[in-house]
Amino acid sequence: MTKRDYKKEFTIDMLSAVEKPARYTGGEFGSVVKERADVRIALAFPDVYEVGMSYLGFKILYHILNRMEGVAAERTYAPWVDMEKLMRERSVVLTTLETKQALAECDLVGFTLQYELSYTNILNMLDLGGVTVLAKDRAEDEPFVIVGGPCVFNPEPLADFFDLAVIGEGEEALPELVTVYKNWKAAGRVGGRTGFLQAAARVNGIYVPSFYDVTYQEDGTVQAVTPNQKVAQPVIYKRVVRDMATVDYPTDPIVPFMSIVHDRIMLEVFRGCSRGCRFCNAGMVYRPVRERKPEQLRQLARQLVDNTGYDEISLFSLSTADYSCLDPLLDGLLKEDFKDERVSVSLPSLRIDSFCIDVAQKVNSVRKSGLTFAPEAGSQRMRDVINKGVTEENLMDAVSAAFTNGWKKVKLYFMIGLPYETDADVLAIATLAKKVLYKYKEVTGKGGAMITVSVANFVPKPYTAFQWAAQDSLTEIKRKDMLLKEAFSRVRGINYQYHESKVSVLEGVFARGDRRLGAALYKAWQQGERFDGWDECFKFDLWQQVFADCGLDPHFYADRVRGEQELFPWEHVSPGVAKAFLANEYRKAKLAQLTHDCRHGDCTGCNVCQQLGVNVVDYTGQMPAVASSTLSAAAEKVAPAATAAATTAALTAKEVQPQ
């Protein structure tokens, strides 16, 4: 559909014909409507409303942008397949919820890259919104398409479709970018689209893919990523909020008309994680740890409860149990602030080695629920390989304390397909789960425990120690899954859940892909691929055919061991972690050697604090001041060549020699 050939309103009969019509109506309590604005930005989430409305990052940016003079931030979500069918039949365009602006009528359209299998939805939303899908074909009067979020640390598979990316945290970077746009627009759009992109590229943390040329070796690996504009930096480092207390946190968020995935208050207690799990992309790209003070959190919680009416607060972070002030925070919330209001507090999951029955009892004092732990691997050797830093004894102590105090439901998270894994390691998952089941009988003298074992497939991610590793093939993933199914068969009291293996394979392709995947992405979307992360929509055979038609080998991206000196497609956008540090962690993984948590010891040399000039913030008061303009002694020990200058010079592959 073209810009001038569409309708902008859903009719009553359309809404009555689709599942969950509240996804499309807008008008929720707390939404911000600005009929007039100098800059209108559509915050676009490439999944359904109830998933997107649960994403805290959008809530923060929506709040911050709407506080800006002359700026209107509005929301849009991917219509489910039933609504898309009606929209295309009736030429109804995708609009924002607040003022029903077509995406093509906005100045900026910003997508979050939360999950690789949402990428086809991005193309689909652009097309439904009247925006030209390919960036190179967009007209001068079309909006600029922005991407951000955790997957932006390898944005290359989407490089054909977006105009610019915000690398890292957006609370400061996105308002700066919007201000640049506002000034450019007020000045008469000097230099056209290229003029704005050049101005935007001067903002720290902004990446413009069209300003870089990619060349490839004969073997298909990346040869070089070269700036083609003077304003383009060889490496774009992420933006980072140095002090979380300065973030204008939303205390009057939108309250949806329907149930959403996380239908509760989301209170971010700190950002970052220093545990150093070698499979974890989030643990690297969100470094360093920066805590909020408990007094501020309590104040925010009070305002959020008063403004929304929610009666549950989820204390949100990558590892909430590591919050240094967790115990006094819980006491303040449950015993003082909300003691007579039946407001509950929940934690996403509990670490085995830091499990405290007192904490568990506090968070379950209002509403009793099961406990969730993530051992990640069944054997101690594999837990050491991934640097999990927990033991079987930790788990048994945790569940024993829980069972003694009345819990009978426990959920355990594991992964299969990790590097250096053997069949014995896979079967150890079943052995460990059975030990937890038997522990209940040992503690209580009776049966009745309910143990859920959830097993995901390992997917290698950029900026992790395992970014060099091969993903298991589809055949191997299925074989290991069958090992576990057999091991759990006829075991009463254990519910075994597993992740779809074909979905994991496609995720692996796009997680470490390059720009050439854009052709496959475009073709798959043209052939109707949507909602790849949803089992009922995913078509693996279609993807296989698309890769073949485009002359691309998915095995090249997913289950190939990366070369020791290979230049990765994503190295020109960086979270600040030194490649040499990750290479050293890869070596240590093979030897099952642990690396300590830098919050509780010396700097481990990842170089994020030094590269970005930011400190760890931990309110125990025990943290050393590690941020400086030079590489730490620990980092120099890891790799003397990994200096800031070497990183700026495109992080050459000579730094990397994993064994």
Residue-wise pLDDT for 132-175, tens only, equals: 999 999 999 999 999 999 999 999 999 999 999 999 999 999 99
Q: Are 224 and 369 members of one domain?
A: no
Contacts of 29 (CB under 8 A, 6+ apart): 254, 255
Q: How far apart are CA 552 and CA 557, in angstroms?
A: 9
Q: Number of folded domains in the chain? A: 2
Q: How far apart are CA 242 and CA 624, in angstroms?
A: 16
pTM of the model: 0.92
Q: Are 85 and 223 members of one domain?
A: yes
Does pLDDT of 268 surpass 80?
A: yes
Residue 590 lies in a domain: no
Sign of the Cα torsion 121, 126, 127, 129 reads positive
Residue 36 lies in a domain: yes
What does the mean pLDDT of the chain come to? Answer: 91
Residue 136 lies in a domain: yes
Residue 636 lies in a domain: no
CB 139 within 8 A of CB 132: yes
Q: Which domain holds residue 195?
A: 12-237
Q: Which of 237, 255, 278 is the last residue of a domain?
A: 237
Residue 224 lies in a domain: yes
Q: Are 220 and 80 members of one domain?
A: yes
Residue 497 lies in a domain: yes
Q: How far apart are CA 337 and CA 295, in angstroms?
A: 11
Distance of CA 103 to the CA centre of its chain: 24
Does pLDDT of 638 surpass 60?
A: no
Q: What is the CATH number of the domain that holds 31?
A: 3.40.50.280
Residue 419 lies in a domain: yes
Q: What is the CATH number of the domain that holds 417?
A: 3.30.750.200
Q: Which of 508, 534, 566 is the last residue of a domain?
A: 508
Least confident of 15-19, 471-475, 552-556, 618-622: 618-622
Q: Model confidence at 645, in pLDDT bands (50, 70, 90)? A: very low
Residue 610 lies in a domain: no
CB 265 within 8 A of CB 250: no
Q: Which of 105-114, 323-332, 394-403 is the most confident on average?
A: 105-114
Does pLDDT of 361 surpass 90?
A: no
